[in-house]
Amino acid sequence: MNKNKRPGIIEIAGIKLWDFFASLKLTIYLFSFIALASVAGTFLPDRIGMIKFVQDKPLWIFKFFQLFELFDIYYSWWFVLLIIILGVNLLCCSFERLPRVFKIVLKKPLPPSVSKIESLEHKREFLSDGNMDNLTVLAKKFFKSKRMKMYSFKTGETFSCTAEKGRFTRLGVYVAHFGFLLLIAGGVAGTVAGFSGVIDIPEKETGSIVTLFKNRGKIDLGFDVTCSRFEIIRYENSHTPKSYQSEIIFNKGRQAEKKGLVKVNSPLKYNGIKFIQSGYGRVLEGKVKISAYDLMTDEKKGEYLMDQGDKVVLPDGKTEFTLFSFRPNFQISGMNLGETFIGFVLSEGKEIPVALPVSTPGFDKHRKGDFYLVPDDFETRYYTSLQVNKDPGVYIVYSGFLFLSLGIFVSFFMRHSSFYLIFENSGSNSTKVFCAASSNKNKTLNEEIVSDFYNYLLNND
């Protein structure tokens, strides 16, 4: 085999690609771009506001916003891509440097030399009256009391050792890196595969379509959700709701596969999706009778049995009325009209909006037409409003937070400390002692442990 063979194009491309993703410059650029995008996403209007902003702009501006999904920056493909690239960059940076750190962590320390001890800042050299064997036993007891691992070496008339504590704290930064990677993975998983929205289900009916928040469309759950019963619990001697709950049945291939109560602050989980009781209201059941009265005489001129979306011709033979919807709590100009039927009147080619509150039968007189309309004889039933959340990355994010917190704690609040010791037999039952301490942080404790060791030998000699 030719050992001098030049690397091929694929190998060179692989090396350059690895160097690119393992670059700290890339980390700085990515953090800068993500920070700028986050600032923009915070101060720009929401999705509906952005859509309104581009409505009267040239078509190319709308296409540009649509291509880069600027209507919702945090969910845009390029923002998610930046987060993924940051994760790959962090992974490559860690693997680039981790082998060297592991080599340092796993390598057994070499015996210290006198010159190394003398080169350290916190050191002490003294003559002890004890013999070397007794001092060795005392040193082992001292390091054990300090929870330091001792690596001893004995050659002839010399005993040397290195005692360490917190050797694995060098890996704290990589534990934090791993936690940050889990945060990225969980966030991306929640963005890509998760959703959040609301589903309104009338009592005794079934639904499966969730309306997503931020006007992001609708999604089919893939199973049926039935509200078999809705209940409002009120305060004693009051109409004020104290709490409300829904009895929900989930059907996915089998009838009544799961049944449970969804209460306020007590959600129900099914198929990895959380259902939260968020509200309620009333919907029209069946048809409503709409009566037409003469504006001048208040005489009833006609009755119409209507469903939502129905259209009728009023008694004058030329005015049309269309019933649009029923609102359980309709507000206009800051005033709550309560249960209200919404529609519009088509007269002489003009569409005039109409609000028919149940509690105010003569409200439509303000329209000043030939007839005013009054709703009567109808029934309603409750519907439950459930917030629906799916986030497959939530437990990954929790794990990432724990690892990140652990890594930060180890990196900033724990230290790797070393103690170097040499005993030299000086004859006449005396021993020369060389000792020193070093650490990667909180170096003021080094002098303290050197003094403690000196006093320990002095008091137990």
Which domain covers residue 379, as residue numbers? 288-383
d(CA 164, CA 112): 13
Residue 255 pLDDT class (50, 70, 90 cuts): low
Answer yes or no: do 276 and 388 share one domain. Answer: yes
Answer yes or no: do 374 and 297 share one domain. Answer: yes
- At 226 the three-state DSSP class reads strand
Residue 69 pLDDT class (50, 70, 90 cuts): confident
172 lies in a domain?
Answer: no
Answer yes or no: do 248 and 397 share one domain. Answer: yes
If phi > 0 it is left, if psi is from -120 to 50 it is alpha, else beta; for residue 146 that is alpha
The predicted structure's pLDDT at residue 448: 94
174 lies in a domain?
Answer: no
Answer yes or no: do 378 and 342 share one domain. Answer: yes
Structural domains counted in the chain: 4
Residue 1 pLDDT class (50, 70, 90 cuts): very low
Answer yes or no: do 148 and 260 share one domain. Answer: no
Token pair recorded at residue 405: 């917190």
CATH of the domain at 430: 3.30.310.80
73 lies in a domain?
Answer: yes
The predicted structure's pLDDT at residue 209: 94
Answer yes or no: do 305 and 374 share one domain. Answer: yes
pLDDT tens-digit readout, 180-194: 999 999 999 998 899
269 lies in a domain?
Answer: yes
Answer yes or no: do 374 and 389 share one domain. Answer: no
Answer yes or no: do 258 and 296 share one domain. Answer: no
423 close to 158: Cβ distance less than 8 angstroms = yes
Residues 6 or more apart whose CB falls under 8 angstroms from that of 425 comprise: 131, 132, 157, 158, 431
112 lies in a domain?
Answer: yes
Task: Tell me what the mean pLDDT of segment 110-132 comes to.
Answer: 91
171 lies in a domain?
Answer: no
Residues above pLDDT 70, as percent of the chain: 97
27 lies in a domain?
Answer: yes
Answer yes or no: do 257 and 399 share one domain. Answer: yes
Predicted model pTM: 0.73
Helix (H) or strand (E) holding 275: strand 273-285
pLDDT tens-digit readout, 269-302: 999 999 999 988 888 888 999 999 999 899 999 9
* Between 129 and 311, the higher pLDDT residue: 311
Answer yes or no: do 260 and 397 share one domain. Answer: yes
Query: Which residues partner with 266 through β-bridges?
Result: 263
Answer yes or no: do 348 and 232 share one domain. Answer: no
Residue 333 pLDDT class (50, 70, 90 cuts): confident
pLDDT tens-digit readout, 243-253: 899 999 998 87
408 lies in a domain?
Answer: no
Of 179, 217, 162, nearest in space to 438 by CA: 162
The predicted structure's pLDDT at residue 256: 65
